[in-house]
Structure 1
Amino acid sequence: MSEPHVLLLGAPGAGKGTQSKRLAEAFDIEHVTTGDALRANKDMDIGHMDTEYDTPRAYMEAGELVPDAVVNEIVKTALEEADGYVLDGYPRNLDQAEYLSEITDLDVVVFLDVNESELVDRLTGRRVCDECGANYHVEFSPPATEGVCDDCGGDLIQRDDDTEETVRERLQVYEDNTAPVVEHYREAGILVEVDGEGTPDEVFESISDEVDAAI
């Protein structure tokens, strides 16, 4: 079986991270995320790119967004080092999608379709341990004791970006920037839509079936 090149798309809260990790394990391929790729290459020399800083680390430490050109270069490096991969969190806009088509061939683009009200419920219900960073959800994966981390006993908090107002703002930003990417791949004929509102196992089975059919 060939090693697939998979792109997973979906709004914040759709389950991309969870499903990408499972796909990577099931198909023995790399899980490539922009966050991980940035952290792994934060000291990459980008002095030749005529950017404000000479490394991605400098942007991160300054609290500034890493420019698209730098993100592109880092994603390119990550994909070149992977025989097969599931890409999660990139591309975020049409320019990045067009760049991606220049550096790799995708076997399938899977879009996790989740209703906005469900996304809001998922994101506003998330709780994070302020000691060890473990994630919980008040409905889907609650701790044994309310407000207390199972792993270390730390306090569980709601992050500022998980309040309903902020969540809806994040979803609007996604709609403005990334929804056109979904349409781009739909028009290209390589997009498949998967209902992301089932159980994690049901969603994973659907995604796996689509990947199997594409390779």
Structure 2
Amino acid sequence: MSHRILLLGAPGAGKGTQSTKLAAEYGIDHITTGDALRANKDMETEYGTPRSFMEAGELVPDPVVNEIVQAALDDADGFVLDGYPRNLDQAEYLSEITDLDAVVFLDVDEEVLVDRLTGRRVCDDCGANFHVDFQPPEEDGVCDDCGGELIQRDDDTEETARERLHVFYDNTEPVIEHFRDEGDLVEVDGEAPPDDVFDRIRNAVE
């Protein structure tokens, strides 16, 4: 049986980690909006190609994102969808084009999210990711993989993290309500250890 899973959660909630594990567990595709757009950036829609917006540094409009995501879902034999829908219009569109088996919301307190987002460090040379609390390097500030310098990216500062969360809550709260109203939403405590979170998501799916 191929599962169709939607994973919702704020930046830092652990969607990427859990999506990767779900995809491996069930042999399904991990679909993110970014990956779908990059894979189909020359797809013609009545509004133009995604590339035309991306190269202009503009947000790709909803109707284009919707078409791209639909194409990715149509190609997939089962999927875990991560990072879409971002607003109510997209959520309503998604409900029209597919029947989801599970909609899981990773619930994490805002202060925990800020700690997770601001603790990330990235190697300036090879791009490896570390975290000061959860995945610290063996030597402070030095990449385990290549010995490069670990830096905090501009979008991982506290001010930026809080702004990202503010935007998420504004846009995605109606999405969560939409799926709650449809009776599909399962809330999972995203602050538990990752393996426990995964077990709870698996229970929700099955």
> Do the structures match in fold with TM over 0.5?
yes
What is the aligned residue count?
206
**Residue identity matched to 1:40:** A
Moved over 2 A (4+): none
Q: d(CA) in 1 for partners of 2:180 and 2:94?
A: 16
Q: How far off is 1:129 after superposition? A: 1.2
Q: How does 1:117-196 map to 2 (within 5 A)?
A: 117-196=111-190
| SS of residue matched to 2:72 | helix
Any unmatched runs of 5+ in structure 1?
A: none
Match of 1:81 in 2: 75
**Deviation of 1:55 (Å):** 2.0
1:19 matches 2:13: no
Give the match for residue 69 of structure 1: 63
Paired letter, 1:159: R
- Aligned-residue sequence identity (percent) comes to 72
The 3-state SS of whatever aligns with 1:45 is coil
Superposed displacement of residue 180, structure 1: 1.1
Shift of 1:32: 0.6
Rounded Cα–Cα distance in structure 1 between residues aligned with 2:93 and 2:149: 43
What CA deviation, in whole Å up to 9, does each residue of 1:156-181 have, x standing for no partner? 11111111111111111011000111
- Cα distance, 1:45 vs. partner? 2.1
Q: Which residue of 1 aligns with 2:201?
A: 207
TM-score by length of 1: 0.93
Q: 2-side partners of 1:112 and 1:198: how far apart?
A: 10
Q: Tell me how far 1:63 sits from its aligned partner.
A: 1.1
> Deviation per CA, 1:169-209, whole angstroms, max 9, x where unpaired?
11110110001111111111000010100111111111111
Correspondent of 1:92 among 77, 86, 94: 86
The aligned counterpart of 1:55 is 49
Structure 2 runs not aligned, ≥5 long: none
Cα deviation 1:89-110 (Å, max 9, x = unaligned) = 0000000001111111111100
Superposition TM-score, scaled by structure 2 size: 0.97
1:58, distance to aligned residue in structure 2 (A): 2.2
